[in-house]
Amino acid sequence: MRLAGFVGSLVLAFIAAPAWSKPAALPEGARYVAMGSSFASGPGVGPNTPDTPQRCGRGTLNYPNLLAQRLKLKLVDATCGGAKTEHVLGAWDEVPPQIDSVDADTRLVTITIGGNDIGFMTNIFAALCERAEKPAPRCPKWRAADEAEWKGDELRMREIVRTVRARAPKARIVFVDYITVLPAKTGCAELPVSAERLAFSQSVAKRLAAMTAQVAREEGAELLKFSNLSKGHAPCSKTPWSNGAVAPADDGIPVHPNKAGHAAAAAALVAFLTR
- For the stretch 25-59, pLDDT in tens is 899 999 999 999 999 999 999 999 999 999 999 99
- Relative orientation angle of helices 2-10 and 259-274, to the nearest 10 degrees: 50
Domain that holds residue 55: 2-16+28-274
Q: Which of 53, 203, 199, 241 is nearest to 118 (CA)?
A: 203
Indicate whether 105 belongs to any domain. Answer: yes
What CATH number does the domain containing 91 carry? 3.40.50.1110
Q: Which of 240, 275, 250, 260 is nearest to 4 (CA)?
A: 260
Indicate whether 249 belongs to any domain. Answer: yes
Indicate whether 226 belongs to any domain. Answer: yes
For residue 71, give the H/E element and its range: helix 63-71
β-bridge mates for residue 176, sequence order = 224
Q: What is the pLDDT of residue 25?
A: 83
Into how many domains does the chain fold? 1
Q: Is the pLDDT of residue 95 over 50?
A: yes
In the predicted model, what is the mean pLDDT of residues 140-144?
A: 93
Q: Is the pLDDT of residue 234 over 60?
A: yes
Q: Is the pLDDT of residue 14 over 50?
A: no
Indicate whether 23 belongs to any domain. Answer: no
Q: Which of 85, 97, 52 is nearest to 154 (CA)?
A: 85
Indicate whether 21 belongs to any domain. Answer: no
Q: What percent of the chain has pLDDT over 70?
A: 92
Q: Is the pLDDT of residue 5 over 60?
A: no
Under the banding of pLDDT at 50, 70 and 90, the label for residue 108 is: very high
Q: Do residues 109 and 166 lie in contact, with contact meaning Cβ atoms separated by under 8 Å?
A: no
β-bridge mates for residue 31, sequence order = 74, 106
- Residue 62 is given by DSSP the state S
Indicate whether 99 belongs to any domain. Answer: yes
Q: What is the pLDDT of residue 1?
A: 40
Under the banding of pLDDT at 50, 70 and 90, the label for residue 9 is: very low
Residues with Cβ within 8 Å of residue 71, at least 6 apart in sequence: 26, 28, 32, 270, 273, 274
